[in-house]
Structure 1
């Protein structure tokens, strides 16, 4: 083996060999790669980057139903989720997510886990059906429960106190209020108007009687001669026998001004104003 020839260094008194320079360069490259260079996501097989670096939660041995590992965060740092469910007029449910300390990041799904970022997965009746990358989505009719669970970008499950960060809501329609058949309005009490005819004198003196539409009125007319009482507009009549009260009852179902008079003596007994 040939012994390397020493190379003189321009600095007085300093000499370096070629192997020494090469070794020094290798050390500098390793240092840059490990400390001062760009961050890397390479890690040991079976170990996540965040587990290797010690940040963004602690991976637990526990897994969810699909085999995704739980990533533990302190309660004060863990995200939270609530689901507001509203029946859809065309069937199913419209769901709105209310998120705390969490942002949906579909653009980085599959990357490294970062606290406060990731996506949600929907479990309908305990079975995973879809991912949610937005705060609004629709669940078809027929489901009974909905669970919304939060995941990191690397598909680990955000957890706190050893349990996944999630919310579960029932998908049940609100109890229908029994319909009640409206009760018909009570019929107004009938009013009675007593009128006496003596010769050509009408007692009380003819005037206007105000009625509400639908109100009932009973006319009781006593005359000293045979005659007929008639209500114009309603075409109602009653025969008057001398000294005997004649009763005529009607429902004021027409609006306007209507005269009550006698046929033979042609006397106006009263006027009915129906409003």
Structure 2
């Protein structure tokens, strides 16, 4: 059977788009396609940090092996019915990577990821319908969770514009926060920790700044568009603010008991 060329929207061959979707929606405002590729060989599709999709997820060990993953997304919806079509803003599917290698695809919020011997990290990455990878500042929109000897039952968001979530690494907790202008997501709140609990802060900012934890005198640089990580042990009791130096934003408060 020969190939069928379809012309439309002006008579030129084009990537198909869903019924009810305009040609402008299908081909315009869909991000800038970069020559850069991700670790699996897919090209990146750059979108502004403001309004970019967000992914975070929970990964729990399955009794028969591997992990059951629950994906939580913002400004994004899964569109299995249009996979292979045009890249439309805020739509597509996710790929799950173990140690940077693709292990599963998700066309909805739940997916099972098979076990791999010696696995160290699990990543959820958002792709458009045309299989390009949504990206901000040249980095894929993704979330990465460390895997230990005991698989974590936690939530970890990632690059793009994440939010606070429950614990991640075994014996600890991960808070993932996104800064866009003067907006902090999720909105600042109090996080209760037990004395001696391990805390990992994962912060993404749309501009250069410095992340600082008052009372612990711990800080790290925040490069624009890239996730910065700061890990500490909550060995002092009291109320402590996590803030940025340059913009003076309060990101969260830590209550250690």
TM-score, L = length of structure 2: 0.47
Q: Quick check: which one's strand share is greater?
A: 2
Higher relative contact order, chain-length normalized (CA < 8 Å, sep 6+):
2
Q: Quick check: which one's helix share is greater?
A: 1
Structure with greater Cα Rg = 1
